Structures are given as C-alpha cells and as structure tokens.
Structure 1
C-alpha cells in the first residue's frame, strides 16, 4: 500500500487481500495444525504444518510489515520476539548493549540466560551518555523507554553503532509503527510487543520483529520454527482486526496524554511528571506522541489510595489498551521509587478522565 495514504487508511487496509464477492473484508482465522498436502510431495513455502506456516499469521505479518517498512515475523509475545533476535544474533564472546532503564525482563534475560551462554552485557541509560560501541555485536534501544519514557535519537546512535560494526535493534512497543519507524531511521531490526497499543484491546498476547535484512529475517524465522514461539491463528486474527482502529485510538490517547500531563503538573500531590511530547526529539522522531505519562506520588500507599478512589483507572501492568490504567512499577522490581506510576491513557473522553483523576488525587492527598 502506498505511504501516501493517511494513518487510519493504512491501519485499516494494510495487508488485506483483494476483495472477493461473498467473502468477508477481513478473512476469518484459519485453525489448522496439519494441512492437506499434494500427494506428489510437499512444496516448500506452501502451508504444511501450523508451526511453520499459517495464512492468518501471514496476513497479520503483511499488515505490520507495511506499517513498519520491512518484512515481519509474528511471535507469541514481545518477549519471544526479543528472545528470537538475541539468540539468533549473539554467540559466546559477543557483547550486547541494552538500556539500563528499559523493560526489566530483557535485563533479567541478559543477566541469566545470555550470561550463561558467554554473552557480555553492557547497560547504558536510554538518554545517554553511551559508552564506546567498539566490540559490541548488538545494540538494543527502547524509545520511549518503559517505564520512565526517556528517549534516544535513533538515527544518531545507529550511525555511531554501525561505524563500529554493531547491529542496531529498536523496541518500538511504546511508540507503535504509526508513531515511529525505526527502520527508516537506520535501525537494522524492530522488535515490539503487539500486546500493548498495536492490538490495544488487552485481550491477547503478541510480539513481532521486522527487518529489511534477509539474513536476519531467515535467522529469526528458523529460531521461531524450531523454538515454537508462534502466536495462535485466533490471536493473529484479533490483532489484525484491532489494528483497524489503531490510528483512532492513538490520537485519542495522545490528546489525553497531553492533558493528563498538564493536570498532574498542576496538582500538588504529583511530582516528576514526564510525557514524551515535552521533548523536541520526540517531535522530530515521532509522528504521534503515545498516551503514556509517568509521575510520582509520595508513597506506595498514596498510589493505592489514588487507584481505589478512581472510577475510570484500572490497576494493571500492561499499557496501550482501551481502558486507562496505572501501574506502580516498583512492585515488579523496576529501579524506580515506590510511588512511581506509569499511567496509560485509554480512549475515554478526555474531560471525564481529567475529572476522575482530579478527585482521585484529591482523595489520595488526604492520607
């Protein structure tokens, strides 16, 4: 599909097959483990067994690939996609650079599994400064970072890393491909959790990787086939169905994010409010600012009181869904203060959300 179309048009039509009279606009999920084979023998590239091939999965991959600007592989979760990348690229003696403030499970995986395999891990804050890239095999960025929402200039880091001979991967979970296209900014591969804003309905798990490198794609595909971390046909169908409203959801979440950040800065209980839209880098690098805001309340007890008092905000550990949610990240082991909150704006009317947040914060302030 041409990139001249707008965001809503591309989200709705990407990867959809040509219309067939009597057929649905979005083909239903194909549930199959084995498929009928040609009696003369199996032809590679044709559906033979569900772990390696599935037409519903390919349709989703085509749609995400169009939005990301590369070839896409879908996985059972975002962590599965990152694992496939890391174990496809890294070998004993290699060095990996990861964010010190990014998704904590990546750091846990590096400190356990990768360390046992002889891979050295170097951590750097998303916003820098970065150590030398000399001798680094793979640089994994996450921008905006989860949960602190720090940013990194993808193009600048990619130039420096490539000059040192390193590959560059970007976790695009928070931004989504409608907001940010890392492959166009110089990244070699994109990984993401489609569980979050991409699918956006908090009802399935999904991950993906996208790249323009045939070698990287083949290596990750082989890992996926042999490792078996494939998403179900129904989850792929749910994700593709949900992508049709991606642009609509992002616009509403972004508008609410700006308003929520302003409200929090004006409220005496909240401190250290962060929203990516405040950054000049975000305005250059991202087309739609995600509806995520981070802030701090005085204590874990204040966060609990805030959540109990809210009528619209769910306590939940994911983000990017239809419903506004808040997560106290300290409880999961993130290196943040006990009262740190990652707030995810849903698609509620902004005025209703602001009113609810105000009364919830006022109630929590009475502790």
Structure 2
C-alpha cells in the first residue's frame, strides 16, 4: 500500500494514538497518574494535559478528521461549548435531543444567558429559517430519543450563511457511520461514555474541530474551569475505542434484524429506526403501562438509562419528568448490544407477548 493511502476507519481505531514503534516501547500508551510535572516542558501541571488523554484525543481526532479535546463527561463538553455563546445570543437546537443538553439550554435561558430556539430537525425549511439570527446551531442526527434524521449539509450551509457556528452531537452515529466535519460542521461533540468506550464503565466527553482557533479557545476554557478527564477514564475509553468498529458492526446488524421482527409484533405500534446504528425506538400500542411492563419482564435486556455498551439496554423515556412532552408516553428507547440476536429476540418477544391488549 502506498504511504499516502488513507487508512480505513477500522484500522485507525486500532492504530491511532499509540507510542512510536521502537524497541522496548509499549504497544499501548501507559496510564499516567500525575498531577504535577517537572517544570520546563509543555505540561507543567495536571490540569493542562496528560499523555494518556493525549493518546485518546489523537485516536478520536483522527477518526473524526479533526483535533480532539477530552472532557470529564459529555455534559462537561456540552457546557464548555455553550459557554462560548455570547450574552443574550440565540442557540437553535432540536426539540428532541439529549436531555442533558436541553436542560443546560433551559437553565442558561432561565438565567438570562442566552435564548434557546427549539426546532423540529426534520423540517429543514423551518430549521433554516430559525438560523437567521442564531449564533450557534446545535444538531443531533439521529436525535435522542426520537431518532429523527436532519439534513446536516443543508442546515450547516444555511447556518454558516447566517454567521452561526454549527455543533453536531455525533454520539449515536459515531465517526464510523457519520463524520459531521466532512459536512462542514464546526464542532463535533461526543459522550464518550457511550459507544466510544462501549463497556458502561466510563464517564468521558469529547469535542473535535478542524478550527485551530476554536480548539485553542476550548482548551483554555477546559484549563480554566477544570472540566478535565481522569487518566484512568481516558485510558479505558481508548481501550474501548480499539474495538469500536467490531462492536458497531455487530450491534448494528442485531438492530436491523430486530427492527424487522419488531415491526411484525402486535404489541408494537411504531418502530423508529434511521437505517443505521444500534439505537432503536419502539412505541408500544398500549401506551405507557405496556412500556413499563416490557422493561420489567425481560431477563437479558437490562432496564437502564444509558446506552452504547456491549450489553442491550432499554427504557421508557417519558419516565423522566424533563423529557419532551412530544415524545410518546409509550416510547421505549433500545440500545442494542452485541449478544446473539436470537437470544435478544427470544427475551424481547416473550416480554412483548405479555404487552398485547
């Protein structure tokens, strides 16, 4: 293969962020536990950088096609980005989105910091119109938990024409299925807690950009407010990232087969699936009580609020008081794992059979 041939994403996931291939060097970046460094170099103090963070940032940055900064959590990354919005500026965001992001916007609006304009991202014309006086356009595609798909390219172009920055939360799709920076988004946000780390044992967030100025501003904000990742968390996330392509491939195949079968079950009134990824939403025909019953009747599927792990989890999203009122009461968000699909279906079918009116 020629030296200038680009590596495929699955290869990048395995090879990026590793130490040089030199005799007696470790294959993996070691876990560096340090709060203080000897003066005279680039690090100086533990809040400014860490070799373990840097390895994770190098790998995710290469996967997304930009430069990455790791944060203590996905919400720490969200908060740092929103902190860049000027006083009383307008932020356009999906009406259906990650609950933490919507709650942060609501909190900032209540305190008079900014104005939030929530939109239906499937109505591209309406979103484009909403961008007219915006400072920031925040997008998810697919959205959480409604699984709506936005026309990222068209909306990004309109936002830039209006002078707004564009941020895309790429947690659901991962850089293996979608690279928003290639569609001219300014920033990509991840909850690395989810698919990137993939084992339900890490809290970590990340922001990726191709803009050196934005990267520098975000780095300065991270240094100042201390929203830094732990060394162990970064090490675990990088370890999980090595198998991202395998996990996504298997989980997506499982999801697609389950979608086919779910659509034929009488307890299911609606199946929502964007055609890619491992997140599925179903709306139970008998509403909230049936959805709650479903989440209590399985033995393999785990009732839990997070997603993106190797294990299959699900929950009724409207059990959270802060979930959007436009999300159906009977909607169950399902994070499909990498178990055998026949076992997943058998467990799910038995529970669904008990939810038929």
Tell me which interval the TM-score lies in, with the shorter structure as reference length. over 0.9
Partner of 1:12: 14
3-state SS, counterpart of residue 63 of structure 2: helix
Q: CA RMSD in A?
A: 1.6
Alignment of 1:136-215 (within 5 A): 136-215=134-213
Conserved? CA contact 2:192–2:205, under 8 Å: yes
| Contiguous gaps of at least 5 residues in structure 2 | none
- Paired positions, count: 348
Conserved? CA contact 2:280–2:335, under 8 Å: yes
Conserved? CA contact 2:117–2:130, under 8 Å: no
Deviates more, 1:114-123 or 1:150-159: 114-123
Q: How far apart, in 1, do the equivalents of 2:24 and 2:207 lie? A: 34
Task: Report the CA distance between 1:164 and its aligned residue.
Answer: 1.2
1:310 aligned residue (298, 314, 326): 298
2:280 aligned residue (279, 293, 316): 293
Alignment of 1:269-288 (within 5 A): 269-277=267-275
Conserved? CA contact 1:84–1:220, under 8 Å: yes
Task: Report the CA distance between 1:18 and its aligned residue.
Answer: 1.6
3-state SS, counterpart of residue 196 of structure 2: coil
3-state SS, counterpart of residue 311 of structure 2: coil
Partner of 1:102: 97
| Contiguous gaps of at least 5 residues in structure 1 | 278-288
Cα deviation digits, residues 131-156 of structure 1 (max 9, x gap): 34222111000111000110111111
3-state SS, counterpart of residue 273 of structure 1: strand
Counterparts in 2 of 1:347 and 1:150: CA distance versus 1, 3 Å? same
Cα deviation digits, residues 10-58 of structure 1 (max 9, x gap): 2111121222333331122100001122xxxx34xx1211111101001
Conserved? CA contact 1:91–1:117, under 8 Å: no
Cα deviation digits, residues 255-302 of structure 1 (max 9, x gap): 11111111111000011211110xxxxxxxxxxx21111011223332
Counterparts in 2 of 1:124 and 1:150: CA distance versus 1, 3 Å? same
Partner of 1:331: 319
Q: How far apart, in 2, do the equivalents of 1:61 and 1:212 lie? A: 13
Counterparts in 2 of 1:2 and 1:124: CA distance versus 1, 3 Å? farther
3-state SS, counterpart of residue 53 of structure 1: coil
Match status 1:360 vs 2:351: yes
Partner of 1:81: 77
Counterparts in 2 of 1:6 and 1:31: CA distance versus 1, 3 Å? same
Conserved? CA contact 2:9–2:63, under 8 Å: no
Q: How far apart, in 2, do the equivalents of 1:228 and 1:3 lie? A: 39
Task: Report the CA distance between 1:118 and its aligned residue.
Answer: 3.2
TM superposition score normalised by structure 2: 0.94
Conserved? CA contact 1:309–1:364, under 8 Å: no
Match status 1:127 vs 2:122: yes
Q: How far apart, in 2, do the equivalents of 1:306 and 1:21 lie? A: 55
Q: How far apart, in 2, do the equivalents of 1:361 and 1:293 lie? A: 15
Counterparts in 2 of 1:350 and 1:339: CA distance versus 1, 3 Å? same
Task: Report the CA distance between 1:114 and its aligned residue.
Answer: 4.2
Deviates more, 1:17-26 or 1:335-344: 17-26
Counterparts in 2 of 1:235 and 1:3: CA distance versus 1, 3 Å? farther
Counterparts in 2 of 1:174 and 1:3: CA distance versus 1, 3 Å? farther
3-state SS, counterpart of residue 176 of structure 2: coil
Q: How far apart, in 2, do the equivalents of 1:83 and 1:114 lie? A: 13
Q: How far apart, in 2, do the equivalents of 1:3 and 1:216 lie? A: 29
Conserved? CA contact 2:295–2:315, under 8 Å: no
Q: How far apart, in 1, do the equivalents of 2:208 and 2:8 lie? A: 21
